[in-house]
């Protein structure tokens, strides 16, 4: 367990830099669409801090796929649930979505997660099956 916690932290720290980059991109889009003309010090502080933590958690949770005792579907459900809560909470804190848009966010998140997971899982499974056939398994 200690090994997995350390790996979670390592992965999180490697990608935590993405938080401020994500924040800057979102603010740029809000500015370009006329939704936000300026930011207060509090908004900058909250945005940078929360998206850094968001990126840390999002990267760290990928460790669940390295735990060999977890079935793939269970690992994917754990990852998806943590990512969903992670994004939803921080988006609400930053005011990027409002409570009345949670259903839309949920549908988009679920479709996106399943699509990305399938794009990674299906080709990997095909490659593994080809390798196993070559090896005679």
pLDDT digits (tens, 9 = 90+) for 11-56: 888 878 777 888 788 888 888 888 777 878 888 889 888 988 998 9
How confident is the model at residue 18, as a pLDDT? 76
How confident is the model at residue 31, as a pLDDT? 85
pLDDT digits (tens, 9 = 90+) for 96-126: 899 999 999 999 999 999 999 899 889 988 9
User: Domains of the chain: which residue ranges?
Assistant: 2-96, 99-137
Please, are residues 86 and 54 in contact by the beta-carbon 8 Å criterion?
yes
How confident is the model at residue 26, as a pLDDT? 83
- Whole-angstrom Cα distance, residue 63 to residue 57? 10
Q: Give the CA angle between residues 69, 75, 79 to the nearest 5°.
A: 145
- Whole-angstrom Cα distance, residue 27 to residue 32? 9
């Amino acid at each position: 367990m200690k090994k997995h916690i350390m790996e979670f932290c390592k992965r999180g720290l490697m990608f935590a830099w993405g938080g401020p980059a994500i924040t800057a991109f979102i603010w740029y889009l809000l500015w370009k669409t006329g939704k936000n003309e300026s930011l207060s010090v509090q908004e900058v502080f909250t945005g940078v801090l929360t998206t850094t933590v968001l990126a840390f958690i999002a990267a760290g949770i990928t460790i669940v796929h390295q735990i060999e005792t977890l079935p793939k579907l269970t690992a994917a459900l754990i990852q998806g649930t943590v990512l969903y809560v992670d994004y939803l909470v921080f988006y609400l804190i930053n005011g990027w979505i409002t409570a009345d848009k949670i259903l839309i966010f949920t549908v988009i998140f679920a479709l996106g997660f399943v699509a990305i997971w399938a794009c990674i899982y299906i080709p990997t499974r095909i490659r593994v099956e080809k390798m196993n056939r070559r090896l005679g398994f």
